[in-house]
């Protein structure tokens, strides 16, 4: 089968397959970082949320140098704590719009008195704006089809060299 027939057929098949696909949505990453804890120490990170939704907080001990014991965290607003305290693992909590503070603490005791803690905070709004995948896929594939079609219609370029016999 020639390439000229294979490309349009492939585009049509992919377009038909994509019509059955759903919509995509993604959460917003508010914070993703590591903290080095020396002995018994705490840290705090502030962030703002524009609309109501769900915060997902993941707190983890990174096994480097010493193990962090007593690892714990909690969320607060300017008026006080929200939800319950959480330990290593993932917790989700429904929140309203506003400014929030994530607090975490632990104790790195061992040979080096240093430990590493990872914290990831993501937010998924209640009103999710979805992006239609079939529309974007058809747009991308039509652009590729035009690009390949345009390239195949160009006349071959001559090198400009004359040969004598």
Encode pLDDT of 14-25 as tens digits.
655 555 555 555
Nearest residue to 19 (alpha-carbon basis) of 130, 132, 134, 131? 134
Fold annotation for 30-125? Jelly Rolls (2.60.120)
Burial tier of 124 (Cβ tally within 10 Å: 0-12, 13-18, 19+): middle
Q: How confident is the model at residue 157 (pLDDT cuts 50, 70, 90)?
A: low
Q: Spell out the domain ranges in the chain.
A: 30-125
Comparison of pLDDT for 131 and 88, the residue scoring more: 88
Q: Report the C-alpha gap between 120 and 135 in whole angstroms.
A: 32
What percentage of the chain reaches a pLDDT higher than 90?
36
| pLDDT one-digit tens code per residue, 70-108 | 999 999 999 999 988 888 999 999 999 999 999 999 999
Comparison of pLDDT for 23 and 132, the residue scoring more: 132
Q: In this predicted structure, what is the pLDDT of residue 133?
A: 60
Q: What is the pTM of this model?
A: 0.61
């Amino acid at each position: 089968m020639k390439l000229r027939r294979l490309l349009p057929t492939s585009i049509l098949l992919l377009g038909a397959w994509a019509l059955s696909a759903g919509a995509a949505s993604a959460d917003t990453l508010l914070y993703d970082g590591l903290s080095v804890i020396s002995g018994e120490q705490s840290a705090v990170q502030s962030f703002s949320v524009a609309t109501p939704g769900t915060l997902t907080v993941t707190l983890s001990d990174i096994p480097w140098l010493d193990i962090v014991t007593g690892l714990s965290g909690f969320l607060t607003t300017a008026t006080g704590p929200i939800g319950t305290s959480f330990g290593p693992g993932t917790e989700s909590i429904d929140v309203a719009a506003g400014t929030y503070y994530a607090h975490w603490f632990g104790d790195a005791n061992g040979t080096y008195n240093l430990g590493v803690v990872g914290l990831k905070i993501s937010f998924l709004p209640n009103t999710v704006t979805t992006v239609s995948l079939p529309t974007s896929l058809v747009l991308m594939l039509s652009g590729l089809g035009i690009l390949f079609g345009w390239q195949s219609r160009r006349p071959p370029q001559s090198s400009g060299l004359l040969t004598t016999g």
